[in-house]
A and B are shown apart, each in its own frame.
Chain A
Amino acid sequence: MAEWVAACAIDDIDPEDVIPFGHAGRAYAIYRSPDDTYHATDGHCTHEQTLLCDGLVENGVIECPKHNGRFDYTSGKALGAPVLVDLRTYPVRVIDGTVYIDVA
């Protein structure tokens, strides 16, 4: 069953950037693409649990700030060593300027 949680306002994130979001003791990363679509993934890299919100967002990819592991943030797909495990993604919807993610 879906559990939609308000994560941020749409303008809290710059285009092609990421911000952290915490809920119920869990870290998430919320992304805004250059086309103003919003996406959400787990907040930590699957390689060594580094927070992704300090990483580089470019061309649909989030790059981990510690070891440069790269993920497609729309699908969570790991794009090669040193990340081998995909990132969990979460459904996102935008209502009245607020970004909601389904944390269920």
Chain B
Amino acid sequence: MGKERLQRYSLAGPENRAAMEAGLAGADWFRSDVPRKRMKELMRRSDYPAIRDTVIWLGLILLFGGLAIAFWGTWWALPFFLVYGTLYGSTSDSRWHETGHGTAFKTRWLDEGLYQLASFMIMRDPTVWRWSHARHHTDTLVLGRDPEIAAMRPARLARLIANFAGLVDVPTAFRLMFRHAAGRLTPDEADFVPEPERHKVYRAARIDLASYAVTIALAIGLRSWLPVLLIGGPRLYGAWLLNIYALTQHAGLGENVLDHRLNTRTVKMCAVNRFLYWNMNYHVEHHMFPLVPYYRLAALHEEIKHDCAPVYRSIWAAYREIVPAILRQLRDEEYYVRRELLPGAAPLHVPAPLNDGRGLPLTAVTAA
């Protein structure tokens, strides 16, 4: 039974068409009412915050990478590698995300430059993932449509846990690099990457593979793991924090609900985590208004929080919900965390079997 349900997440399967026919694909999603004048203030771009944060971020990477090299051969290198690897292998995700939306910088080439760098670090093809993420925003947690559902029902628990050390993402990334370099996409990718964009995918894969080939050649030539620990390797040993953050976004919540207040979490985080995650913890706000840059999401949160479900007070509070939900979904595939809106919040779509969060088979629901 579990295997059958997992097949429904495939974009190349029948669930994709069923979602389109049921009106779940490309549907109207709830958005809070924010006055246009205020929205214009919130959407406004500025180079300063992103330049400041990027200088600090790259500075920290260079500092800790330099210290790791300086102490190479001693145990003292270990903590420096841990920090370097985490900055490289985890926090590149949020840089990839914000620049992918094009909201981080006012100056386009700065945005695009950081997007290309972060895509390389996080091992995501910049073109495929730009389109994949656009689809994720169109059809968030819609079965057969969203290519970025991290925790399926039932969860593939071993993969989720292994991925805290990048053991799923990295082999997948290399498999895709070889496939793309050969001029081919997966059937899922072919569903959302338009034909005129595909040549960029193939070119980037060849460049990435060449980069990693040089790194490995250097490691062999120097008879040292150091080059691999500095380039590529952090995506394994530094991936833990990426997964801690990422699972807070949607794991355990309702599928096919067409309301980001019900399938997305906003989690309060401390200043350090907000810097590392570039405020992606304000995830309901981001999904509802993707044009708002990360440095104004806290202000947007103040505008719409009355209209949402309660925020999670901490990462710990989110995980107290996520872990039991994922474990229960192993036994009960229709179980999901039902979020209750605050009193007075604008009403959501009228719940129906089609979009009540359980993600029931659409063929059965529409027939009934």
Contact = CB atoms under 8 A, between A and B. Distances in A.
A66 B44 CA distance: 16
Contacts of A94: none
B127 A66 contact: no
20 contacts: A47-B134, A49-B26, A54-B39, A56-B43, A56-B45, A63-B291, A65-B290, A66-B137, A66-B138, A66-B290, A67-B137, A67-B290, A68-B291, A70-B102, A81-B127, A81-B130, A81-B131, A81-B197, A82-B134, A84-B197
Contacts of B127: 81
A: interface residue count bin: 10 to 19
A84 B134 contact: no
Q: Considering residues A54, A55, A68, A70, which has the most beta carbons from chain B within 10 angstroms of its beta carbon?
A: A68
B184 interface: no
B: interface residue count bin: 20 to 34
Interface string B106-140: 10000000000000000000010011001001100
B138 A67 contact: yes
A67 B184 CA distance: 25
Contact of B131 (A49, A68, A82): A82
Contacts of A81: 127, 130-131, 197
A84 B106 CA distance: 21
Contact of B40 (A48, A56, A82): A56
B73 interface: no
B194 interface: yes
A81 B131 CA distance: 8
Interface of B: 26, 36, 39-40, 43-45, 101-103, 106, 127, 130-131, 134, 137-138, 194, 196-197, 289-291
A12 interface: no
Contacts of B291: 55-56, 63, 65, 68
Contacts of A56: 40, 43-45, 291
Given A63-B291, A66-B290, A68-B291, A58 B130 contact: no
Nearest to B29: A66
A5 to B, nearest CB: 23
Nearest to B28: A50
Interface string A4-37: 0000000000000100000000000000000000
Counting from the closest, the 4 A-B pairs by CB-CB distance are A56-B43, A82-B134, A67-B134, A68-B102
B148 to A, nearest CB: 14
Interface in A31-82: 47-49, 54-56, 58, 63, 65-68, 70, 81-82
